[in-house]
Amino acid sequence: MELSLRSDNSSSEPAVARNALTPVIEFLLRHAPFDRMARSHLEFLAARLQLGFHAKDDVITEPARGAADRFYIIKQGRVRGETMDETGPAEDGAWELVAGECFPIGALLARRPVHTLHRAVADTFCFELGREDFDELLALSPVFHDFCARRLANLLDQALAGVQASLATQASSGETSLAAPLSSLIRREPVACLAHTPIGDALRTMNAERVGSIVIVDAERKPLGLFTLHDLLGRVATSGVSLELPIEQVMTQRPLSLPPQAPAHEAAALMARMGFGHVCVVENERLLGVVSERDLFSLQRIGLVQLTRAIGGAPDIATLARLGRDIHRVVDQMLVQGASVAQLMQIITLFNDHIARRVIALCLAEAGAPPAPFTWLSFGSEGRQEQTLKTDQDNGILFVAPAGKSVDAVRAELLPIAQRINQALADCGFPLCQGNIMAGHPACCLSLDEWKVRFRGWIEHGAPEHLLKASIFFDFRPIYGERAPAEALQAWVLERVAGNATFLRQMAENALHNRPPLGLVRDFVVASGGEHPDTIDLKLNGAVPFVDGARLLALAHGIAETGTLARLRAAAGRGVLREAEAGAWCDAYSFIQLLRMRAHRGQLSQGLALDNHVDPDRLNELDRRILKEAFRQARKLQTRLALDYQL
Q: Do 474 and 562 belong together in one domain?
A: no
Q: Do 356 and 385 belong together in one domain?
A: yes
Domain range holding 11?
Answer: 2-149
Mean pLDDT of the residues in the chain: 86
Q: What is the CATH number of the domain that holds 515?
A: 1.20.120
Amino acid at 610: L
Would residue 155 count as lying in a domain? Answer: no
Q: Distance of CA 550 to CAs 156, 157, 343, 493, Å?
A: 20, 23, 19, 16
**Which 3 state secondary structure label does DSSP give 620?**
coil
User: Which one of 273, 296, 319 terminates a domain?
Assistant: 296
Q: Do 191 and 259 belong together in one domain?
A: yes
Q: Do 281 and 315 belong together in one domain?
A: no
Q: Do 99 and 241 belong together in one domain?
A: no
3-state helix, strand, coil in the chain (%, to 5): 50, 15, 30
Would residue 159 count as lying in a domain? Answer: no
Q: What is the CATH number of the domain that holds 224?
A: 3.10.580.10
Q: Do 321 and 288 belong together in one domain?
A: no
- pLDDT 10s digits, 144-172: 988 887 776 667 666 666 665 555 544 44
DSSP H helical ranges for 462-500: 464-473, 484-498
Q: Is 527 left (phi over 0), alpha (psi -120 to 50) or beta?
A: beta
Q: Is 496 in contact with 455 (CB distance < 8 Å)?
A: yes
Would residue 361 count as lying in a domain? Answer: yes
Give the CA angle between residues 62, 46, 2 to the nearest 5°: 45
Q: Do 120 and 203 belong together in one domain?
A: no
The ranges of the chain with pLDDT < 50 are 2, 4-17, 169-176, 298-301
Q: How far apart are CA 268 and CA 249, in angstroms?
A: 28
Q: Do 249 and 366 belong together in one domain?
A: no
Q: Do 466 and 534 belong together in one domain?
A: no
Q: What is the CATH number of the domain that holds 492?
A: 3.30.460.10
User: Which one of 482, 498, 514 terminates a domain?
Assistant: 498
User: Which one of 498, 533, 561 terminates a domain?
Assistant: 498
Number of domains in the chain: 4
Q: What is the CATH number of the domain that holds 11?
A: 2.60.120.10
Would residue 173 count as lying in a domain? Answer: no
Would residue 161 count as lying in a domain? Answer: no
Would residue 32 count as lying in a domain? Answer: yes
Would residue 543 count as lying in a domain? Answer: yes
Would residue 171 count as lying in a domain? Answer: no
Q: Do 7 and 124 belong together in one domain?
A: yes
Q: How far apart are CA 246 and CA 197, in angstroms?
A: 5
Q: Do 17 and 105 belong together in one domain?
A: yes
Q: Do 138 and 220 belong together in one domain?
A: no
